[in-house]
Chain A
């Protein structure tokens, strides 16, 4: 079964850091682009960052550029999102999603359950 599972969320103070993980299984990890999407409480979906499969190129939303870093471990089939300089407005459920192909343009067909990040003092 194709699935992704996030972990690593929690409560962190403003200015702090956190690393989210997304364990992928059931598909050839390097053949697909992966992405992070977040959803603040009671709000809509916001694309955060993407990682292309074969070329390893990365992309970020303006709201997180310079603070978040996406990476992957192909040996362990795991996608990461390093969150630095966290702000209250970063509070959200963070979803990991697999794209339908190896393209930054492709839709997201497999989603995890999400991991909650709360930034508060």
Chain B
């Protein structure tokens, strides 16, 4: 079961906006609106920050924005802050009753 494709790393300065992608196929990202995003700090459990493509759970900053076009989902972080430095994983339901995560993107705040 191949993972969704994400860029290995993205960086930005404090206050800037960054956007990175999550590419799948019509069997996962493109076929369902069940894309979610997770933030993981080193040594910690993942934290849900976006679900169902663009919805934010209660308590998650509105600086996080999710979207999707075709087989590619994207996460935008606006007003980048030091605390945003972490690993980010996308995920999607995949046909055949399985679930798949992305390869992960390390966000560095310069």
| Residues of chain A having any CB pair with chain B under 8 Å | 35, 37, 44-47, 50, 59, 61-63, 95, 100, 104-109, 111-114
Contact = CB atoms under 8 A, between A and B. Distances in A.
A37 B57 CA distance: 20
Interface of B: 1, 3, 32, 34, 36, 38, 40, 45-48, 51-52, 57, 89, 91, 93, 97-104
A111 B47 contact: yes
Nearest to B50: A107
Nearest to A59: B97
Given A44-B104, A45-B38, A45-B104, A111 B91 contact: no
A71 to B, nearest CB: 17
B104 A104 contact: no
Contacts of A113: 45
B1 A95 contact: no
- CB-CB nearest 10 A-B residue pairs: A107-B51, A107-B36, A105-B93, A47-B99, A111-B45, A45-B101, A105-B34, A44-B104, A59-B97, A109-B48
Contacts of B100: 47
B46 A111 contact: yes
Nearest to A50: B99
B52 A107 contact: yes
B21 to A, nearest CB: 16
Given A95-B45, A108-B36, A113-B45, A45 B89 contact: yes
A58 to B, nearest CB: 9
A95 B46 contact: yes
A47 B89 CA distance: 12
A112 B45 contact: yes
24 contacts: A35-B99, A44-B3, A44-B89, A44-B101, A44-B103, A45-B46, A45-B89, A45-B91, A45-B104, A46-B101, A47-B98, A47-B99, A47-B101, A50-B99, A61-B1, A95-B45, A100-B48, A104-B97, A107-B91, A108-B48, A109-B48, A109-B57, A112-B45, A114-B45
